[in-house]
Chains A and B, each alone.
Chain A
Amino acid sequence: MSAGRDMLCDTARAVFAEAATAGVAPVEEAGFALLLVPEEHGGFGGDWGDADAVLRIAGAMVPDLPVADLIARQAALLPAAVVSLMAGAMGQALALSIDHVNSRQQFGRPLAKFQAVQQSLSVMACEVRAVEAAAAALAVRLDAVNIDPSAAGFEIACAKLRANRAAGIVTSIAHQVHGAIGFTEEYALHRVTIALMRWRGEHGNDAHWAEILGRKVARAGGRGLWETLTSRG
């Protein structure tokens, strides 16, 4: 990660920490709406890799604030923005789950020492890694085409569909390993899991993207799929 992006992420963490209680105002004041605006138009001239990094932090820290709309600025980029939010929220759900099973004791030992719990969290971690990879690869594609969503339709469909599929698995395992405490209003898990439930259905649910993607691939033929994958990187 570049030094500039590191600084951007540090700023985002500080601003979102404030916004978690103060609402969206600090995010607007910090100028995140200008992240993708070119420098010659008075913006920060960031790329989608920057947007992905900021949105992942937003997904983990302020999933209920409209940060995606603020940054994406055009409807066609919202599915991509939501993939980054979902990657961040899933990472947070995993981190909370790992903390919980390491500290919560039952039967005289931490939950983390039970193989059943270990296997569940491994499944969850694989899903989270998959969505993180999807968000990162989508960012690489968008930046290769000057953030033109019409030139990244294949990747947007793949990434949102994969994130949608992971959402169900990640939320259910996170809640299962947390037990009753995770189901309370007081505990922070629901902030990310309810957001994940909402995002799965927004900007294209599974069926929406599966059919669009499937028809695109069917038109290219069996060999065409591999040629598409390898020519787009």
Chain B
Amino acid sequence: MRKWWQVLMGLVVVGVVGAAQIEIVFWTAPNPSQEVFWRRMAEAYMAEHPEVKISVSPMPEAPTSEAGILAAIAGGVAPTASENVFVGFGDELVRSQAIVPWNAFANWDQVVAARAMEETIKAWVFPDGNHYIIPLYVNAMLVAWRIDILRELGYEKPPRTYSEVLAVGKRLKEVYPDKFLWLRSELEVPTWWQRWFDFFVFYYAASGGQPIITEPEITADDEAAVAVLGFFKTLRDQELLITEPLATGFEEGKTIMTVLGPWTFPWWKENYPELVYGETYVLTPPPVPDNYPADKPVYTFADAKGLVLYAQATPQQRQAMWDFIAWVLSNPEHDLLWIQTTGMLPARDDVGKNPLFLEYIKEKEPALLDYAAAIPYAVPPIFHYKYVDIQELMGLECIYPVLIGELTPEEGWEAWKAAVKDILK
């Protein structure tokens, strides 16, 4: 009799807690390491807050993560929040009233300060003044050089300017006629997002970070853009740039330069343990035109994504999600765990200065120090919902015709501007 009574009481307690418990859903990027991080965060938070149940799962890629999010919203099954959203897609979601601003929550400013992202967050403000995306990570794109091969060629450090790069290339061809300076087979492919890893990287370096588009106008530095196109063309004409696929490239030393994001390191460690930072390769900002001031910082493109809060969630769910996100972001130890788990750098102003991160990076992945130093000069993707058209036209109207010699760099750039003007109208 007593046992039955205890079971009944237990059920009542579970029922009461269950009824009071609020359930929220968080979608991670379709990347196992990011999923691991968020699961650990959710478990730790739920242990402290039994009134909240957080379901963490990777977002569907059907066929892309963006399309998966749209399908979920259209089907009325959007999560409460998700990561993996960049500003261009965020703009599309804002226009569709599918996400709500984070800065509406009372303690927004405190959380921004606690995460040390007062500077970083400025680049993420939407035209209506709101913050619909909280930047989670910033992968500044850097250029890796095979320093072992450069030393063989008689260079102790990588080239900085276009002329220096061409001189290195000339020497490379003299010593190793079969090697190339740079493998970029995607340069001739119109796929829109490939421009993030070639033209944008070199353009932001040449222009000092000048935005390409400030809605509703093209605000690009024409001279810098033409210089980049001319540089690509010269590299190809001198057979230093190969635009056909290679079975192996930089890793095998068949090329000596590559544009690199930090996500490559875990793969290298597993497949190319002989690649050692400082010994076989070094990292630099992208090369710049000859007239670029030596004392001026060199900008680059940032592969950066963040967190959004969906409008389909109830106000209670949104508040619960914000409380969870605020808890995650306010503790620097969590960002250290993020680095340890994902190998990517959190979008913090102090990632290159805070001893907590610096100690770990120096010991475990010193190459990340260069990425941390580049974050203040890393420009996020263009802020326009027609980013696909804008970037695809760059390949079609500009880069490909210039590379094959159909248009001069000046003509190619003007052709892209003319094509994009219609889109921006």
**A-B complex is real:** no
Q: Report B's interface with A, CB cutoff 8 A.
A: none
